Chain A
Amino acid sequence: MYALIDCNNFYASCERVFQPQWQEKPVIVLSNNDGCIISRSEEAKALGIPMAAPEFKIRTHLKQHKVKVFSSNYSLYGDLSQRVMGIMRTFTPNVEEYSIDEAFLDLNEIAITNHHAYGQQMREKVLKWLSLPICVGIAPTKTLGKAANRIAKKYQEHTGGTYVMDTDEKRLKALKWLKAEDVWGIGRRMAKRLKAKNILTAYDLIQPHWHDWIKKEWGVVGLRLKMELEGIPAIGDGAVPESKKSIATTRSFPKQLTDYDLIRERVSTFATVTAEKLRKQNSCCHMVIVMLVADKHSIDDPKYHYSKGITLPFATNSALTISTVAVQLLKEMLAETNTVRFKKAGIIVTELIPQDAKQLNLFNNEDPRHLALMKAMDKVNEKNGKRIVRLATQAAKTWDMNQKMLSPRYTTDINEILTVQCR
């Protein structure tokens, strides 16, 4: 059996751990730059506040219903996520972290007499230790585990937050209930094609007469998915790669940018952050890619996504090198297009290798002083908590990220921990 655990309204729930006065009240969390709604408490959902809505569009609605609004606090969410995963490892060593708020647990090597009770123990432990509500779905395959979790969450009053799909009867009932588009692994495009064929539920999908169509149109991925729905595990472990094969830093701009200097500043900053991420995991990258997204609606040109990459003669994690290369790529990209308004940029580095496996190249090597400089820069920045040492290309500091409603970093910064009044 596999369990899929996920945290309910994770970001909104995290905000309530240290600010419990917002329990049972409408709470939402905004994306980077306080743009769109990315998490809603149950109470906020009940008010009809839509997911992904831009905050400014529904501001009056939020005020009217006294909805508590938070900027996203990824330091807090990341720490609490790691704690949830740690708690899961007390139930089985075989935990696959699937996303910040979801994990698959392989329960096959553990003798459990009562799966429902085991799932409830997980819920109770996470609730007691962290004040975070989770739901647990347990089933013979990961795909069915996802479905079981959906049932656990949707019918929480009935299931108590844990649903175990342990008989064929339950499985078939669930498959008839589950829409094909909601099956784990079915993307929007595939969902459309299924709908065109009148395959509407997960149950339709496993009908024998669709077998050949799935095989032809979808290949081995589709057949695996079908097997999973039939209760035969076909998606192995390690669906999530162990170490990151690429690192990306992408952000939307708070407003559309046309000015080269400002775009360059952003690209350079993202490059610096990416280089820092590389150094943190002791990796170097061989390839740097810059991407730019134009505002779809502001141009006639149907192309709005631009990217350009380069393979370096040596692997690096120097902010200087990556930033210089990225700015060069940006210049080339801008020279090739007439688009002037952009709303998003990003840096992606790939072909990662461990820092200590870095090969020396006979002719093209990085200035060895970079390494020492980066070390010194990291040290100063770490000590001061913020990125006070920057590259000159980052000098056009025309804005900071909009985070007007950011909560304290309760678990990761000693200066921001919770203070309790001894009254």
Chain B
Amino acid sequence: MPVNSNKPRLSIHPAETDSLIELPLFTHGVSAGFPSPALDFMEYKIDLNKYLTRNALSTFYIRVSGHSMINAGIDDGDLLVVDRSLDPADGRIAICLIDGEFTVKRLKYTPDGLLLMPENPAYQPIAVTDQNQFVLWGLVTYVIKKII
């Protein structure tokens, strides 16, 4: 098999079979006499781990503190699902490392360079220059909120 120097052709992802959180899709309340027709479907379960984590090897959970992204639906205390295997693109929300500090911002590509955009008018965009130490740490794929 020829190997492209940029992308591995061979990409075998192990099946994630040991998830911990499973919610049953059907619950059956019939307790006597009549066998529950729903029992036949009990093997199907919604596994939030599988749904929220496309690549378990490169996924990390990160907690948000602060208000600079509230208009993107990211509030103080929310839980972010971050996948480091994804490639960045304009408009994506990313965990960035700028001058040794982590931050969450929306990426904006401009002719003058990369802008880290807050989603709250009270905050200023950050222009990434040659003077900055900048690392794109990972992309935010989901936001998990606590409602109650």
Contacts and interface: CB of A to CB of B under 8 A. Distances in A.
Nearest to B85: A129
A419 B65 contact: yes
Interface residues of B, number: 40
A423 B57 contact: no
Interface string A86-119: 1101111100000000000000001111100110
Contacts of B67: 422
A90 B62 contact: no
Contacts of A128: 84-85
Nearest to B84: A129
A419 B63 contact: yes
Query: For the side of the interface on A, what is the size category?
Result: 35 or more
Nearest to B76: A422
Contact of A90 (B12, B74, B101, B123): B12
B95 A420 contact: yes
Contacts of B60: 410-411, 417-418
B32 interface: no
B3 A112 contact: yes
Contacts of A417: 60-63, 79
B1 A20 contact: no
Contacts of B61: 414, 417
Contacts of A89: 12, 14
A113 B64 CA distance: 45
B65 A21 contact: no
B65 A421 contact: yes
Contacts of A258: none
Contacts of A125: 8
B97 to A, nearest CB: 5
Interface in B88-140: 95, 97, 100-104, 118, 123, 135, 137
A125 B6 CA distance: 10
Nearest to A25: B100
Interface in B1-50: 1-3, 5, 8, 10-14
A128 B8 CA distance: 14
Contacts of B2: 113
B52 interface: no
21 contacts: A20-B137, A21-B101, A83-B58, A86-B14, A89-B12, A91-B10, A110-B1, A113-B2, A129-B84, A414-B61, A417-B61, A417-B79, A419-B63, A419-B64, A420-B65, A420-B95, A421-B102, A422-B66, A422-B68, A422-B74, A422-B104
